[in-house]
């Protein structure tokens, strides 16, 4: 097969190494599935790789492999098993049998989640038919990293792992990130020549650099501008450090896009946030999944918002929990409200403190201001749900739906036993337990008659 003459003409295959056990995590969960900003570490790497529009993404898996594959079953990747963990060179070799020799190969790592598309694009620009591109980083404390050894002309000669490095080599601050790009034909040849003659008795991918130099193939290094991009995760301390780095980066992006954050250090984004103009987010808010915030939305302190769409000029007060809900414009939610999945609120709806809404639609200007439960219901416009009102939607086996017409008022401590229909303009007296349909425009009272028992006496406690 003829090798392409320009790097731009060479299709790209990405190999992601994700076979490590991660013993230092002290977890039953494989290391690459540990969560970072709400997604598995490996998911971050796959998502970034996909932005490069490769011909294929190959994931080399091993420890906990079935769990890894099951968790990421929806990803369009090719899975390659590394049955024995014999080093990074051996891992890449497992995937190479599926990659045409005319491709460029980019090697990434499932536990290095923050590497950016821009950095990888710069690296790939250095990789060609007769060029190996290597991503390096300069660290103040290089302990644990392989060192980049250069000659007197500052050309890369080889990479030495710390365990195999001399005292002089350990003083080098330029470190190997493990990320490289090379033509598949040459990479295959080098991998076939690897030997495990090192302290770890493993086949190091880094040894291909010295082989390239020996074969007079140009080794071109690109140094990452931000060390956080290339930091790996080996234990929970490093995972927590990268979580803070990720959240700081996300907060900065939101600020630069015009969102006001009460404290950039006290917001967690575990997904994707789309937003309009003049959005305000108070401290300790958690945004998960896909969240859309309209213009002038205000999020109060301590709120958890998951997979929600919130309309213009809506305010979410303190300590609300909302998931899989669509909130219209000019609504007011909370404080201490809970919106469970399947909620749709029209414009100007008020949901007050200690109100729970689930799988329900509420029409424009409807209100449930305090201490209420609205479940499996359809409410018209301008409905007023009184304090303590609940919809009894569950009979112990099935959920039943309730329909409430426009302009209905329920008094405090009303129980609507579903399935039931309440006609438009009806009023239900406080303390009623309603089990039958309610006529439109009428007052309905469904409670026991108050009685006074003149002859009753309170029981007396016996004297000790």
**Which stretches of 28-85 are DSSP H helices?**
41-50, 65-71
Domains 7-230 and 236-444 share a fold: no
Q: What is the DSSP string of 388-407?
A: T-EEE-B-SS-B--EEE-TT
* CA end-to-end span of the chain: 103
370 is catalytic: yes
Q: At what angle do helices 207-214 and 184-192 cross, to 10 degrees?
A: 110
Q: Is the peptide bond before 335 cis (omega within 30 degrees of 0)?
A: yes
Please give the backbone phi and psi of residue 392, each rounded to the nearest 5 degrees, phi first: -80, 90
Task: Reduce the DSSP state of residue 188 to 3 states and report it.
Answer: helix
Chain position carrying tokens 């994700």: 18
User: Is residue 343 a contact partner of residue 358, using CB atoms and an 8 Å limit?
Assistant: yes
Percent of the chain at pLDDT > 70 equals 98
Average pLDDT over residues 186-202: 88
User: Is residue 294 a contact partner of residue 280, using CB atoms and an 8 Å limit?
Assistant: no
Task: Reduce the DSSP state of residue 23 to 3 states and report it.
Answer: helix
> Residue 84 has what pLDDT?
86
Mean of the per-residue pLDDT values for the chain? Answer: 94
**pLDDT at residue 419 tops 80:** yes
Question: Residue 103 gets which letter from DSSP?
Answer: S
> Residue 5 has what pLDDT?
53
Chain position carrying tokens 């007197």: 152
Chain position carrying tokens 């950016």: 116
Type and span of the H or E element at 92: helix 88-96
CA 391 vs. chain centroid, Å, equals 34
**125-129, 142-146, 382-386, 426-430: which has the minimum mean pLDDT?**
142-146
Q: Residue 1 — very low, low, confident or very high, per pLDDT cuts 50/70/90?
A: very low
Task: Reduce the DSSP state of residue 291 to 3 states and report it.
Answer: strand
pLDDT digits (tens, 9 = 90+) for 440-450: 999 999 998 88
> Residue 6 has what pLDDT?
67
pLDDT digits (tens, 9 = 90+) for 29-57: 999 999 999 999 999 999 999 999 999 99
> Residue 462 has what pLDDT?
83
Name the more confident of 302 and 84.
Answer: 302
pLDDT digits (tens, 9 = 90+) for 252-291: 999 999 999 999 999 999 999 999 999 999 999 999 999 9
Number of neighbours of residue 148 by Cβ within 10 angstroms: 27
Question: Residue 48 gets which letter from DSSP?
Answer: H
459's CB contacts (< 8 A; 6+ apart) are none
**pLDDT at residue 3 tops 70:** no
For domain 236-444, give its CATH number from 3.30.380.10, 2.160.10.10, 3.30.465.10, 3.10.110.10.
2.160.10.10
Report the predicted TM-score, pTM, of the whole model to 2 decimal places.
0.87
CATH architecture of the region 7-230:
Alpha-Beta Complex (3.90)
Query: What does the domain layout of the chain look like in residue ranges?
Result: 7-230, 236-444
User: What value does the CA radius of gyration of the chain take, rounded to a whole number of Å?
Assistant: 31
pLDDT digits (tens, 9 = 90+) for 146-168: 999 999 888 999 999 888 899 99
**Which stretches of 221-367 are DSSP H helices?**
236-256
User: Given 58, 222, 370, 409, which residue is catalytic?
Assistant: 370
**134-148, 292-306, 397-411: which has the minimum mean pLDDT?**
134-148
Taking CA atoms, 139 is separated from 147, 194, 246, in Å, by 10, 28, 19
pLDDT digits (tens, 9 = 90+) for 17-27: 999 888 899 99
> Residue 88 has what pLDDT?
92
pLDDT digits (tens, 9 = 90+) for 288-344: 999 999 999 999 999 999 999 999 999 999 999 999 999 999 999 999 999 999 999
247's CB contacts (< 8 A; 6+ apart) are 37, 267, 268, 269
pLDDT digits (tens, 9 = 90+) for 353-395: 999 999 999 999 999 999 999 999 999 999 999 999 999 999 9
C-alpha triplet 5, 208, 198: angle, nearest 5°: 175
**pLDDT at residue 232 tops 60:** yes
Q: Residue 200 — very low, low, confident or very high, per pLDDT cuts 50/70/90?
A: confident
Q: How far apart are CA 44 and CA 368, in angstroms?
A: 41
Type and span of the H or E element at 178: strand 174-183
């Amino acid at each position: 097969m003829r090798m392409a003459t320009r790097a731009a003409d060479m299709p790209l295959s990405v190999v992601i190494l994700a076979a490590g056990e991660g013993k230092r995590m002290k977890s039953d969960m494989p290391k690459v599935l540990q969560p970072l900003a709400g997604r598995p570490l490996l998911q971050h790497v796959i998502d970034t790789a996909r932005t490069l529009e490769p011909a294929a993404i190959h994931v080399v898996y091993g420890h906990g492999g079935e769990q890894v594959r099951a968790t990421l079953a929806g990803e369009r990747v090719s899975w390659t098993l590394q049955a024995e963990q014999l080093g990074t060179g051996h891992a890449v070799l497992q995937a190479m049998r599926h990659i045409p020799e005319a491709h460029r190969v980019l090697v990434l790592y499932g536990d290095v989640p923050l590497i950016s598309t821009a950095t990888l694009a710069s690296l790939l620009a250095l990789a060609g038919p007769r060029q190996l591109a290597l991503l390096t980083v300069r660290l103040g404390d290089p302990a644990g990293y392989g060192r980049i050894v250069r000659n007197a002309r500052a050309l890369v000669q080889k990479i030495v792992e710390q365990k195999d490095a001399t005292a002089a080599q350990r003083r080098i601050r330029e470190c190997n990130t493990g990320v490289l790009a090379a033509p598949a034909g040459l990479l295959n040849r080098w991998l076939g020549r690897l030997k495990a003659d090192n302290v770890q008795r493993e086949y190091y991918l880094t040894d291909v650099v010295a082989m390239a130099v020996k074969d007079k193939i140009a080794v071109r290094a690109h140094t990452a501008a931000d060390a956080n991009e290339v930091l790996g995760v080996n234990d929970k301390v490093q995972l927590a450090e990268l979580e803070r780095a990720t959240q700081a980066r996300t907060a900065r992006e939101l600020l630069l896009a015009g969102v006001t954050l009460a404290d950039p250090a006290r917001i967690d984004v575990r997904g994707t946030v789309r937003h309009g103009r003049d959005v305000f987010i108070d401290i300790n808010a958690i945004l998960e999944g896909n969240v859309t915030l309209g213009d002038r939305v205000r999020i109060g302190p301590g709120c958890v918002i998951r997979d929600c769409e919130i309309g213009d000029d809506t305010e979410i007060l303190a300590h609300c929990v909302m998931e899989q809900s669509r909130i219209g414009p000019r609504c007011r939610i909370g404080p201490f409200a809970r919106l469970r999945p399947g909620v749709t609120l029209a414009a100007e709806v008020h949901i007050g403190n200690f109100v729970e809404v689930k799988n329900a639609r509420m029409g424009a200007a409807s209100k449930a201001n305090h201490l209420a439960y609205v479940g499996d219901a359809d409410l018209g416009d301008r409905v007023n749900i009184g304090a303590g009102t609940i919809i009894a939607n569950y009979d112990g086996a099935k959920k039943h739906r309730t329909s409430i017409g426009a302009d209905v008022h329920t008094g405090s401590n009303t129980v609507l036993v579903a399935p039931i229909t309440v006609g438009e303009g009806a009023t239900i007296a406080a303390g009623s337990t309603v089990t039958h349909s309610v006529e439109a425009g009428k007052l309905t009272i469904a409670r026991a008659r108050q009685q006074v028992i003149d002859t009753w006496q309170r029981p007396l406690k016996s004297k000790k």
